[in-house]
């Protein structure tokens, strides 16, 4: 095999964006051979830009059974991700799954089990993991030279969405259709990076507000407080209503501080480990020296195309993935913990109580209101966060 | 009266710093006439730099009864502030009180009542209110042109203190001696500014850690989440153990965002109110224009001397104070709420339940351990925060 024959399942904002790039040869290792979409008008709309050589199907099963694909990208509403991935594995297809891995970890655990037994390549579309700044932060925090982490503070409020966005699909921002708000739609990237760079917290207390800034039934404003096993604490703040939003990730460690903001990673490095200084200094107000530098970061931020490319090269040449599919459960578990904590009004410990989470989610699904929608596609340019 | 005859009660780090500046004529409106200090060796030490014309007393009452002073600065450990202020009012002396106003609001409420009936000038040493950046933020947030506040996030972790600092006084960082940690000693300034600029929140859930980074019985690490009556939320993070710390105050409003960091106040102003845009836009991902500018701020940051000067001019010429003494109860009430929330492990509403707070505080005072101390004075240069 020299080219991976790829099918895309779900031609909404993300699926159609991937398709347009792939037919233009943006990933030489990949040939787009088929797409599927359940909505008839959307499927028809694909005809305006897809070449005749790309087959179009009204359902995922037909696409998988066509024999035209070696692999699929799953870009449907979130609840369907695990079911479709499991179906693909059963048909011998490699899977690249859009985030989030699913809506609840019970469902995702089953998907992971099926993937492990399959011998197939399974990747998650955590496109922000290609950002060289976050890769560098991962390396610096986990490399040891900065000592143990003491605090993390991520203000990630630059996920602005207008009411028109929420009105653009009947599934959007509903418990039954999407299973959550900013935590499940926009933030899986950030929550994945948070756990990838800082590890999983032990405890979470979150404060979510549903429909605070938009006419939606799910959350659009979240503050979460976290405690880690080593004693570090953290804060994660997000919303889809702040303008202009902020994306500022600060991590304090024993040897100094990393700040990632405005496309710049700054290291404030101490001349001495703070823990040693604290107990060694004879003076009450003095401090060790600090050297401030902008950390050079190498490589392009290849985003979705980089993830698709590495996925294709994993299948074709056995190269490593940007993010393994099984890793999707970590960020989902953390996001589920934020939901559960807020619903129960108390601190929850991780791993999240899957039954308690699903019970609470199901209450909300049962009460979820069918909404009128104006089903349009938007250009996703500039919407992927930073 | 052309000069205010001032006495200083308590010659610890702060009292002795004020004295040294006043004898050098730093505030022309003030003549230092007396000091008092209960610790014999500290009182003796004053002799090395105070001129003979400044009387020295072993107790506050003697200083107040001497007839040498028109006004006093109270710079003793916190618990004594209300008792000494009330004594001063009863003797017809004007009072400038170091922060915090006291340790619990019940005590401070009595002080405020005595002040109100006295006809005397009563000021609080909220020296950070002289910072032109915070004054400008107060003006912009309360002026109305930026619309309603939606979010405030203050990371104020640049209050670093070594173990030697905590070991320098037997009262320090004990429940019995000081009544709290970073919230009651370092943060009264920030909590005062927070309530002055943003108003008082309605609800607080705080996560305090006692002795996390130092061998002390009070808190040295705090994260507090706040909710305001208009729907805004906030986060306040502080510690005395981060190096280098951060001082970043961000306020998001309907018309944009203010960020105060690194001695710079930046305004990100929208071309349209976000609330109107959100419901008026037909596109899901578009945004109004943003104009970014550094806000010019005028005036010196005169700090303690500015507060002392305005206090003197209030007595001598009826000019306005930087911060009225009665205002000290607001920041104390907010800090008490953070303590109580953390002790109870639940969200508390404001105004804080004074009896519940005092009951919890008294439990800790009763269990407070007498500690060995190495009673030294440190230069406070550079220790006042930014």
pLDDT per position as a tens digit, A120-154: 999 999 999 999 999 999 999 999 999 999 999 99
ipTM of model: 0.94
A281: which chain B residues are within 8 Å (Cβ-Cβ)?
A: 162-164
Check residue B377 and give its pLDDT.
72
The pLDDT of residue A286 is 85
What is the mean pLDDT of the segment spanning B110-126?
A: 96
As a whole number, mean pLDDT of residues A73-92 equals 97
CB B83 within 8 A of CB B99: no
B93 has which bridge partners? Answer: none
Domain boundaries, chain B: 4-127+302-324, 129-300+331-367
pTM: 0.95
Correct CATH for B4-127+302-324 of 3.30.1330.10, 3.20.20.70, 3.40.50.720, 3.30.420.40:
3.40.50.720
Q: Which residue of A has its CA nearest to B166?
A: A284
Residues of B in contact with A379 (CB under 8 A): 285
Burial class of residue A233 (count of CB atoms within 10 Å of its CB; 0-12, 13-18, 19+):
buried
Mean pLDDT of chain B: 95
Would you call A381 and B285 a contact, using CB atoms and an 8 Å cutoff?
A: yes
Residue A191: pLDDT above 70?
yes
Residues of A within 8 A of B380 (CB-CB) are: 285
Question: Cα–Cα distance between A156 and A240 in angstroms, integer?
Answer: 10
Tell me the pLDDT band of B373, cut-offs 50, 70 and 90: low
Beta bridge partners, B94, equal B71
User: Residues of A with CB below 8 A from B286's CB?
Assistant: 162
Nearest CA in chain A to B169: A284
CATH homologous superfamily for the domain B129-300+331-367: Dihydrodipicolinate Reductase; domain 2 (3.30.360.10)
Nearest to A257 among B231, B244, B281 (CB): B244
- pLDDT reported for residue B298: 86
Residue of A nearest to B375 (CA): A284
Q: Per-residue pLDDT for B338 more than 80? A: yes
- Which of A205, A223, A281 lies nearest to residue B164, judging by beta carbons? A281
Distance CA B268, CA B259 (A): 8
Closest-CA residue of A relative to B215 is A279
* Number of alpha helices (DSSP H) and beta strands (DSSP E) in chain B: 12, 15
**Chain A partners within 8 Å of B278 (Cβ):** 162-163, 213-214, 241
CA atoms of B144 and B146, how far apart (whole Å) = 5
Tell me: the pLDDT tens digits for A313-349?
A: 999 999 999 999 999 999 999 999 999 999 999 999 9
How confident is residue B220, by pLDDT bands cut at 50, 70 and 90?
A: very high
Nearest to A235 among B151, B235, B242 (CB): B235
Average pLDDT over residues A251-263: 97
DSSP characters for B252-269?
EETTEEEEEETTEEEEEE
From the number of C-beta atoms within 10 Å of its C-beta (0-12, 13-18, 19+), residue A76 rates as buried
pLDDT digit string (tens) for A290-317? Answer: 999 999 998 888 999 999 999 999 999 9
The whole-number average pLDDT for the span B192-206 is 98
Rounded Cα–Cα distance for residues B369 and B364 (Å): 10
What is the mean pLDDT of the segment spanning B128-151? 97
Residue B296: per-residue pLDDT: 95
User: Is the model's pLDDT at A260 over the cut of 90?
Assistant: yes
Among chain B residues, the shortest Cα distance to A250 is held by B246
What is the band of A371 on the pLDDT scale with cuts at 50, 70, 90? confident
- Give A85→chain B minimum CA distance, Å: 29
Q: How far is CA B332 from CA A155, B72, B188, B329, in A?
A: 27, 21, 7, 5
Q: Decide if pLDDT at A375 tops 90.
A: no
A259 chain-B contacts, CB cut-off 8 A = 246
Q: Do B162 and A235 touch (CB under 8 A)?
A: no
> Three-state DSSP class for A40?
helix
Our CA-based measurement puts residue A92 at a distance from the nearest CA of chain B, in whole angstroms, of 37
CB atoms within 10 A of CB B215: 12
Phi, psi of B358 (to 5 degrees): -65, -35
């Amino acid at each position: 095999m020299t080219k991976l024959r790829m099918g895309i399942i779900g031609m909404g904002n993300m699926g159609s964006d991937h398709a347009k790039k792939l037919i233009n040869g943006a990933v030489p290792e990949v040939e787009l051979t088929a797409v599927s979409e359940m909505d008839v008008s959307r499927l028809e709309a694909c005809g305006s830009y897809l070449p005749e050589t790309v087959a179009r199907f009204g359902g995922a099963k037909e696409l998988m059974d066509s024999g035209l694909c070696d692999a699929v990208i799953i870009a449907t509403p979130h609840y369907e991700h695990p079911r479709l991935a499991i179906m693909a594995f059963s048909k011998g297809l490699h899977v690249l799954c859009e985030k989030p891995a699913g809506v609840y970890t019970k469902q995702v655990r089953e998907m992971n089990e099926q993937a492990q037994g399959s011998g197939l390549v399974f990747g998650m579309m955590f496109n922000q993991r290609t950002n060289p700044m976050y890769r560098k932060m991962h390396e610096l925090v986990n490399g040891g030279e900065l000592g143990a982490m003491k605090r993390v503070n991520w203000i990630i409020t630059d996920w602005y969405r207008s009411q028109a966005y929420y009105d653009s699909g009947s599934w959007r921002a509903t418990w039954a259709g999407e299973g959550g708000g900013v935590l499940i739609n926009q933030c899986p990237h950030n929550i994945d990076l948070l756990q990838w760079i800082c590890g999983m917290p032990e405890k979470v207390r979150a404060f979510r507000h549903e429909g605070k800034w938009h006419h939606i039934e799910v959350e659009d404003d979240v503050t979460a407080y976290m405690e880690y096993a080593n004693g570090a604490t953290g804060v994660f703040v997000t919303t889809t209503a702040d303008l202009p939003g902020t994306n500022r990730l600060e991590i304090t460690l024993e040897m100094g501080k990393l700040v990632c903001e405005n496309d710049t990673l700054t290291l404030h490095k101490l001349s001495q480990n703070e823990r040693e200084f604290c107990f060694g200094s004879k003076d009450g107000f003095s401090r060790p020296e600090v050297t401030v530098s902008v950390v050079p970061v190498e490589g392009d931020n290849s985003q979705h195309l980089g993830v698709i490319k590495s996925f294709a090269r994993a299948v074709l040449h056995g190269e490593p993935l940007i993010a393994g599919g099984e890793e999707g459960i970590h960020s989902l578990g953390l996001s589920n913990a934020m939901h559960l904590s807020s619903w129960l009004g108390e601190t929850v410990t991780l791993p999240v109580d899957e039954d308690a989470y699903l019970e609470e989610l199901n209450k909300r699904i049962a009460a979820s209101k069918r909404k009128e929608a104006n089903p349009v596609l938007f250009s996703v340019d500039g919407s992927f966060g930073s």
